[in-house]
């Protein structure tokens, strides 16, 4: 089976997809076959495709059908469980995990499972995206959006990951907008308090250039 990681964020809009694309490109440059799954995506175009899922497809080496990459594509760009309810659809963590395993058992060496929003985003009245990661029992990569409040959000997310019985294997500092005040001081605090390797610090890239973002990453700790 491929090496697989679940990618979560400290909040929505912190750049999970951009970081996933950069990680996929970095892995491909290291000679690995890559794939990604975004099991739930809320917010689709008129043809039923989600932009984040399309970006993942463009960044990975393996050729997969759209439905394999994004099995649950919801129209409205709102909380996934609300969007699903509006469409009369039901999501279950074990079924979402099953779709992910289908890709994990495929031809890729390096697979990313991208969550939706943060760690505790609900998918139904009982389960959250964290339950999908728990079913898969894979390591977690945390994308920290470098903006005011990031230290608290990062520490709470790391604590929740550990309490759910999973391991925070690495984190990425991503600047989703103009550089925050006291960026270096915030980064140093996170380095001291997050007990996992830092894969890289990605600056604000307004056009989401995944190839450029990959140059800021060092993924060797994931490949050992």
| Tokens 């890729």, residue located | 108
Question: Residue 69's closest CA among 83, 52, 85?
Answer: 52
The helix or strand, by DSSP H or E, that contains position 9, with its residue range, turns out to be strand 3-9
3 state DSSP class of 117: strand
From the candidates 38, 81, 147, 153, give the one annotated as an active-site residue: 38
Strand partners, 150: none
| Tokens 């309490």, residue located | 163
> Is-catalytic flag, 38?
yes
| Tokens 């469980």, residue located | 81
Question: Do residues 54 and 36 touch, judged by C-beta distance below 8 A?
Answer: no
Catalytic residue positions, numbered: 38
């Amino acid at each position: 089976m491929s090496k697989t990681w679940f990618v979560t964020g400290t909040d929505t809009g912190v750049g999970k997809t951009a970081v996933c694309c950069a990680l996929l490109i970095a892995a491909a440059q290291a000679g690995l076959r890559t794939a990604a799954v975004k099991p739930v995506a809320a917010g689709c175009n008129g043809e039923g495709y989600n932009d984040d899922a399309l970006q993942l497809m463009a960044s990975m080496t393996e050729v997969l059908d759209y439905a394999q990459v994004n099995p649950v594509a919801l129209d409205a760009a709102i909380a996934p469980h609300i969007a699903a309810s509006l469409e009369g659809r039901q999501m279950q963590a074990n079924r979402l995990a099953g779709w992910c395993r289908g890709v994990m058992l495929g031809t890729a060496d390096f697979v990313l499972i991208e969550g939706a929003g943060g760690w505790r985003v609900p998918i139904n009245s009982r389960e959250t995206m964290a339950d999908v990661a728990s079913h898969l029992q894979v390591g977690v990569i945390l994308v920290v959006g470098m903006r005011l409040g990031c230290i608290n959000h990062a520490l709470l997310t790391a604590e929740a990951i550990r309490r759910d019985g999973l391991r925070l294997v690495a984190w990425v500092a991503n600047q989703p907008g103009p550089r925050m005040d006291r960026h270096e001081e915030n980064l140093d605090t996170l380095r001291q308090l997050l007990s996992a390797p830092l894969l890289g610090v990605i600056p604000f890239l307004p056009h989401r250039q995944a190839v450029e973002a990959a140059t800021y990453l060092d993924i060797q700790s994931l490949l050992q």
